Amino acid sequence: MKIQRRYAVMGGIALVVMVFAGVGIAEVFGGGGRFGCGPHFGPFGGGFHGGRGLDGDMPDFALKRLDGRVAELNLTPAQKAKYDEVRGHVREQLLAAKEERKKLRETVRAELAKESPDVAALNGMMKKKIEGVSGALKNDLDLLTSFYSSLD
């Protein structure tokens, strides 16, 4: 297996993980239009556009793209098993993060709808969320490292 291809795949995996972390934080405040582009007004405005893009199938979409990249590597059965482990973990994490974002968004919306929102409490919730995302990314990087070490 060529080293350039390995670096490309590992870079792609790391990029997917980082993008989802950014999307997760941005999702808390609501996106602008389709795929988050375009102007949006306030933390929950829909801007000029309505839709959310992939209709909630973002984890499947990202994993399908990742599967395509990994298929180019012609993995051995042991490597495929390791990749399936990483893939399953990432999928579970993305789906759990989606539910957490929904809950956090509703909590933030409810707090901001109050006549005098507790900004300090919102600040604490956001910091806690950022620390959680950071911890999840660290775990993902450890999994990616173990997968990378299984490659030829």
Contact between 5 and 150 (Cβ < 8 Å): no
- Number of alpha helices (DSSP H) and beta strands (DSSP E) in the chain: 4, 0
Per-residue pLDDT of the chain (152 residues), as tens digits, is: 566 777 677 777 777 777 777 766 666 655 444 454 554 545 555 444 444 455 557 778 888 888 888 888 888 898 899 889 888 888 888 888 888 888 988 988 888 888 888 888 888 888 888 888 888 888 888 888 888 888 86
Torsion of CA 20, 95, 137, 51, to 10 degrees: 20
pTM higher than 0.85, yes or no? no
Tokens, residue 21:
């972390």
Contact between 91 and 14 (Cβ < 8 Å): no
